Structure 1
Amino acid sequence: MTNAESIHGSIQRSVQGAAREFAQATTAEPSALPLAVAVVLSVVLLLAGAALLVIGWRGMKETLPRNRFAGVRTAATLRSDEAFRVGNRAAGLPTLVSGAIGVLTAVGLLGLSGPAQLIALGVGVVGLLGLTVAGGVLGTRAAATVKDKPARTLGCAGQCCGNGACGIA
């Protein structure tokens, strides 16, 4: 046996041993959460993450219409269509990232076991909620910078009686 063959065999045995140990470590440890709980949490996080992904994407692309259900809905953003558009554009990226975190956490809950499962759940939920709130704050501040359109002045509003006189006295 040559030196190269010896080294190759040694590396191959080491890799196989490491793979065997990894498989035993990941399968031997029981799940920290019961399967039913992990599935329900994963579904909730997947749905919330998907919704936040869509809202964040539409906010960034300025295609999210002013509505009562989705997006940054504060007094500053709801005062006009322009303020809503600007606020949700500013909040779009953090909202999009929070949605991605929600989806990744949902997948991680089903793929992990033991303490790693609880750590992924904690980090994922804190990340999702934290970035969503940060996006809301950012969007509210951006919407507050939008100037209001000047109010319309009271006048005849096109209903003049003629000779320069106004019918509204």
Structure 2
Amino acid sequence: MRPGHTINSTRAYPVWVIVVAVVLFVLAVAVGGVGVAGLIGKLPRNRWAGVRTEDSLRSEESFALANKVAGPTMLAAAGMLVIGGVAALTIGGVFGVAVAIIAVVVAVLTAGFGGGIGTRAAAALPQQSGCGNDCNCGGHSEPAADEPVAETPEAKANAAACGTASCGACALKDACQPAH
């Protein structure tokens, strides 16, 4: 470089490239947050985030396990989104956005792979019976015909929530969640 000359390092990006990069960075923060919360066991069961399958939503324990197992792949997916955002800004133009789109596809596949593993882990947990203590009526199984059934107001409310008229007649196996 000759004395007296400076390098002009400012680069003008089209607005759509900046928008793509910002969207990817925001998604990376969200996915990374879910991944970290899942890993440390602080992700509560919810409607929006985490591994949300029938097996993982069966109980708090299965949801926590599924998301703990899927946590590393969620963090890898967040990393791919960051790489896509950086690529959009550094490469720029249509090619940079194409690399960003590829990063998004890889991130979705990575998160999906982790979700599948998490679902299998949740499915491996033993299921609760759906009757007895799960309906909060005081037993592990249905009482014998001559045995009295505890019909407290709480037991009746829990049985109604399970879809049965009485907890002693719990007919819907695996329909109840334990009381916390």
**What residue is the counterpart of 2:142 in the other structure?**
154
TM-score normalised by L of structure 2: 0.64
Q: What does 1:1-169 correspond to in 2, within 5 Å?
A: 35-113=14-92, 117-150=96-129, 151-152=131-132, 153-155=141-143, 156=148, 158=150
AA in 2 matched with 1:86: L
Pairwise CA distance, 1:122: 3.5
**What residue is the counterpart of 1:11 in the other structure?**
none
Higher relative contact order (CA 8 A, sep 6+): 1
State the identity as a percent: 31
AA in 2 matched with 1:77: S
Q: CA RMSD in A?
A: 2.9
Question: Does 111-120 or 137-146 show the bigger shift?
Answer: 111-120
| Change in 2 beyond 3 A, CA 1:122/1:159 | closer
Query: What is the alpha-carbon distance in structure 2 between the residues aligned to residue 82 and residue 88 of structure 1?
Result: 10
Pairwise CA distance, 1:119: 5.0
Residues 10-37 of structure 1, C-alpha deviations (whole Å, 9 max, x = no match) = xxxxxx7xxxxxx9xx99xx99xx7111
Question: Does 114-123 or 101-110 show the bigger shift?
Answer: 114-123
TM-score normalised by L of structure 1: 0.68
Give the aligned length: 135
- SS of 2:50's equivalent? coil
Q: What residue ranges of structure 1 are gaps of 5+ in the alignment?
A: 1-15, 17-22, 161-167
Pairwise CA distance, 1:149: 2.1
Pairwise CA distance, 1:91: 0.7
Q: What residue ranges of structure 2 are gaps of 5+ in the alignment?
A: 2-6, 133-140, 153-167, 170-180
Residues 55-85 of structure 1, C-alpha deviations (whole Å, 9 max, x = no match) = 0111111111111111010111111111111
**What residue is the counterpart of 1:4 in the other structure?**
none
Larger radius of gyration: 1
- SS of 1:75's equivalent? coil
**What residue is the counterpart of 2:156 in the other structure?**
none
